[in-house]
Structure 1
Amino acid sequence: MSEGIQGKVVLITGGGTGLGAETARYLASKGAAVAVAARRKDKLEQVVGQITAAGGKARAYQLDVVRREQVQSVVDAVIADFGRLDVLINNAGLMPIRPMAEVNVDEWDAMIDVNLKGTLYGIAAALPVFLKQESGHIINLSSVAGTKVFAPGGTVYSGTKFAVHAISEGLRQEVGSRLRVTSIEPGAVESDLMLGTSGTSQSAVADFYKAAIPASSVAKAIAFAIEQPADVDINEIVLRPTAQEF
């Protein structure tokens, strides 16, 4: 894998809004060719329009990460359109915060499907490609809640993010001599995640996000991991607002 960001092809799931969109814009400004994928095609087209208007290179792909065949199809399409794939950013995620005693199993299922299975499906689609070309970089969005249990209310969310963190480290141990693997663990960041809570914890989440840092801060952390020399693997980056205790 070449050094730096210039010319690399980067696929970002959850790329239509928030952190994914900001990362796409930032990496494109640094010379990457960006493929943004998410469910809402209109949001993706807005991001692509912003990037191309600024002279960057980007394309949109409609994707629901809980559909394994769709994830595979998007990876195949990106390689067909751009000629290769260098970096996969598994960014799509959900964060409905609710005490476990309320037993909202539908929310549990959704977080397991998107946060955990969606990440695994991305790895399943990109890993054979990266191993064949003997280069590649998988970046998984975990959370500070994947290093410390976010409770009360975020117990299941933490469970999914702990899993993403563990999978990232296990994958690094398995393929680290050939590929790069990075786990990004942000604290409160301005994104759509805070909008996923509709239950009794809604006001607590709103208060928590009052100190949120801009998505651009995380985009720069992701860029830092990508732009390192090929023999340097940034394994994990934890970042949070200075005012955030958790």
Structure 2
Amino acid sequence: MNELQGKTAIITGASSGIGLAIAKELAGEGVNVVLAARRAEKLEELASEINQMGTAKALAVQTDMTNKADVEQLVQKAKAAFEHVDIFVNNAGQMLSATVRSGKVEEWEQMIDVNIKGVLYGIHAVLPSMLDRSSGHIINIASVSGLEVTKMSTVYSATKYAVRAISTGLEKELARTGVRVTNISPGMVDTPLSSASSRSNDRKKLEAADIAKAVTYAAAQPDYVNVNEITVRPV
């Protein structure tokens, strides 16, 4: 039996990379997907592709995750289209200049706004209705940079440590409520985000689909099973 068939998921940062792969993977499992990102044209292309697949429905909602009102509207539109939200995937993220010595305060602020505040806005917008239904799943995409800090990753790592802390604390807050929390920490993934980063190495990068499969694994567990933490690294 497909545990995911007929459920509804919101995926942030869905216009490319990991978010796009997650949307396709979940839709392939019969999950209706609400696609959120700032690039409306890319979202519409993906929504059209998924709708043509015929396994699930897709809705594109242009969203700025740093804008609380935008995020609240995203959840409202998802509910209007599909009644309720079963899965919320906090995937939107920024990886910019992360050394303190660089002094690039504006880039730090962008990472803090998207990687931390955006995650909190998403949880804040979707959690009340999940608690009302005693059912739901929040999946936060962190990073192995939230486990290890390099001399080039200081500020970025700080934001991803924060995502892990939010995930860990929230899982404890929501114990016995029926709402599950999963934190997924990918290593370097072959995406436009990583390609723009100077923090790369000689190992083969992960594919975005590898992270999408981890999301599906966690989401497809029976309601009484909560997969709290998944770390996915290149060999």
Tell me, yes or no, whether TM beats 0.5.
yes
RMSD of the TM alignment (CA)? 1.5
The structural deviation recorded for 1:209 is 7.1
| Match of residue 213, structure 1, among 187, 206, 210 | 206
* Structure 1 residues 95-138: Cα deviation after superposition (integer angstroms, max 9, x where no partner): 11443211110111000000000000001001111111110000
- Give CA deviations for 1:59-80 in whole Å, capped at 9, x if unaligned: 1000000000110011011001
Quote how far apart the aligned CAs of 1:192 are: 2.4
The answer (yes or no) to whether the contact 2:97–2:108 under 8 Å persists in 1 is: no
CA distance in 1, matches of 2:4, 2:41: 27
Unaligned runs of 5+ in 2: none
Q: Between the two proteins, what is the percent identity of the paired residues?
A: 43
Give yes or no for contact 1:98–1:154 (8 Å, CA) kept in 2: yes
Partner residue of 2:192? 192
Question: Deviations for 1:20-77, whole angstroms, at most 9, x for unmatched residues?
Answer: 0111011000100000000000110111111112113111000000000110011011
Correspondence for 2:226: 233
TM-score (normalizing by structure 2)? 0.95
Count residues in correspondence.
233
How far apart in 1 are the matches of 2:191 and 2:48? 20
1:45 aligns with 2:44: yes
Q: Alignment partner of 1:5: what SS?
A: coil
State the 4+ residue runs in structure 1 displaced beyond 6 angstroms. none
Aligned residue runs from structure 1 range 49-68, under 5 A: 49-55=48-54, 56-68=56-68
Is 1:35 equivalent to 2:28 in the alignment? Answer: no
Q: Is the 8 A contact 1:3 1:230 kept in 2?
A: no
Structure 1 counterpart of 2:159: 160
Cα separation, 1, equivalents of 2:5 and 2:175: 23
Indicate how the Cα distance of structure 1 residues 3 and 137 shifts in structure 2: closer, same or farther if over 3 A, else same. farther
Question: What code does the residue aligned with 1:237 have?
Answer: I
Equivalent-residue separation in structure 2 for 1:148 and 1:5 (angstroms): 33
8 Å Cα contact 1:3-1:229 kept in structure 2? no
The one-letter code sitting in structure 2 at the alignment partner of 1:239 is V
Give the distance between the partners of 2:167 and 2:135, measured in 1 at CA.
Answer: 17
Unaligned runs of 5+ in 1: none
The TM-score normalised by the length of structure 1 is 0.91
2:210 match: secondary structure: helix
